[in-house]
Amino acid sequence: MQNNVQTINGVTWFDSLEERNAFLKQNGRHEFALEEAAKNAKQYLKLLDVIEEKTQIDVYSKLDSGTLLYGYVVLEPKKKYKIPEDKVLLEALRNKTIQKRYDSTMEEILKGAKIPYEVKKCNSCGGRIQKLFYKPVIVVETETKK
């Protein structure tokens, strides 16, 4: 069925919705498991301290064939995770921006914690609803001097 599937610049393109759905059914969404880091780790990633609930973040990685593998990670608040060796996955986590419905309390929390954020009007509803956009993951990488 996948005779017209092409991978261009690491992105898989399908000739039909049926081919795409068959691929997803066969491969599913992948859960990327991250190992917990030691409490005194110098290099780690974690959720922002202001996030108090378990959070699922959609990410991607690149297979050896060059195809992107889409999936997700589930991060728990106040936990440190080892930085993955997969550089594509790490960049996806580092650059991920989430959007939440505007909440003035959350805006004050973000502002008080000096976390960069943006307030934008929703494009899909004609701008009636405002959304908060921010990056939920902090990546701490300390250089060791040799």
Beta strands in the chain (DSSP E): 6-8, 11-13, 30-31, 44-47, 55-62, 68-75, 98-101, 117-121, 130-134, 137-140
Mean predicted confidence (pLDDT) in 110-138: 92
Q: Give the tens place of pLDDT for each residue, 47-90.
A: 999 999 999 898 888 877 777 788 889 999 999 999 998 899 99
Main-chain dihedrals φ then ψ at residue 111, nearest 5 degrees: -65, -45
The Cα 43–Cα 93 span in angstroms is 15
Distance between CA atoms of 73 and 69, rounded to whole angstroms? Answer: 13
Confidence at residue 125, expressed as pLDDT on a 0 to 100 scale: 79
| pLDDT higher at 30 or 41 | 41
Q: Residue 9's pLDDT band (boundaries 50, 70, 90)?
A: low
Examine the pLDDT at 146 and tell me if it is beyond 60: no
Helices marked H in 13-86 — which ranges?
A: 17-27
Q: What is the pLDDT of residue 1?
A: 42
pLDDT of residue 63: 75
